[in-house]
Structure 1
Amino acid sequence: MSLDWNSVTAFALGLPDTELSTSYGKPAIKVASNGRAFLHGSREEGSFVLAIDQDTKEMLIETDPETFWQTPHYHGWPGLLVRYGSPDPERVLAMIERSRDWTAARPRPKPRKKA
């Protein structure tokens, strides 16, 4: 199985309580009940962004840096770059599901104050 944007978004949209949306001007998949994105496009060629807790993020980067990685932009942020060309696409899909579950458990973001 080969992953691309269409296959990862189709998988993510098949998970419960998800919807197609945008995040930072890029297409994204959000948890519908809290409006939080858990998967979105990336400016990094050949990768997408997955929202995930810091412990899981560090473990994934350590155990599979060819698939899971970050640029300085993502340091300290619960976001992880994922390469489409992973040798273990099943693990990537499992992490998408884990990301959706983690994101669904988070509260709705607080509204931002208008300047």
Structure 2
Amino acid sequence: MPDLSSWEAVVAHALTLPGTELGTYYGGPAVRIAANGRPLVTPSREADSFGLHIDQDSKLVLMETGPETFWQTPHYDGYPCVLVRYNSDDPERVADTIERARDWAEALKPAASRKKA
């Protein structure tokens, strides 16, 4: 059973997945997809959770079938990111969902680079 009980543990797990790297997202730490710069996991302002970047359809299913683990604040409404509680009773499902999210993010076009002013 994977240990996903802290930000450090989530990062360590995500970095074992092919094609991931440590980076930043909006100035904060993140695990990103190396090929396209897309975020995979990011910390959350909610102390008990991290952000998992995943497609909207999967996000809605996760929140419906596992609301004690997968949830959102109004800030994430309509955005392809779901909050995931560190203290989940099903860390295997969380680990599998991180892997599925990696596959989704890897298939996306490269993130738009910001133009310098």
Distance 2:30 2:96 in 1: 18
Q: Which runs of 4+ in 1 moved over 4 A?
A: none
Q: CA deviation at 1:42?
A: 0.7
Distance 2:44 2:8 in 1: 14
Calculate the aligned-residue CA RMSD, in Å: 1.2
Match of 1:20 among 19, 22, 27: 22
The reply to whether residue 46 of structure 1 matches residue 48 of structure 2 is yes
Residues 48-104 of structure 1 deviation map (CA, whole Å, 9 limit, x = unaligned): 000011110000000110100000000000010000000000000001101111000
AA paired with 1:23? Y
Distance 1:113 1:15 in 2: 30
SS in 2 for 1:62: helix
Q: CA deviation at 1:35?
A: 0.7
Contact 1:26–1:42 under 8 Å retained in 2: no
Distance 2:86 2:105 in 1: 21
Q: CA deviation at 1:6?
A: 1.5
Distance 1:16 1:99 in 2: 12
AA paired with 1:98? R
Distance 2:56 2:98 in 1: 15
Aligned to 2:58: 56
Distance 2:39 2:28 in 1: 11
Q: CA deviation at 1:114?
A: 4.4
What TM-score do you get using the length of structure 1 for normalisation? 0.94
Pairs aligned (count): 115
Gaps of 5+ in 2: none
Q: What pairs up with 1:61-100 in 2 under 5 angstroms?
A: 61-100=63-102
Q: CA deviation at 1:25?
A: 2.3
The reply to whether residue 6 of structure 1 matches residue 8 of structure 2 is yes
Distance 2:111 2:94 in 1: 26
What TM-score do you get using the length of structure 2 for normalisation? 0.92
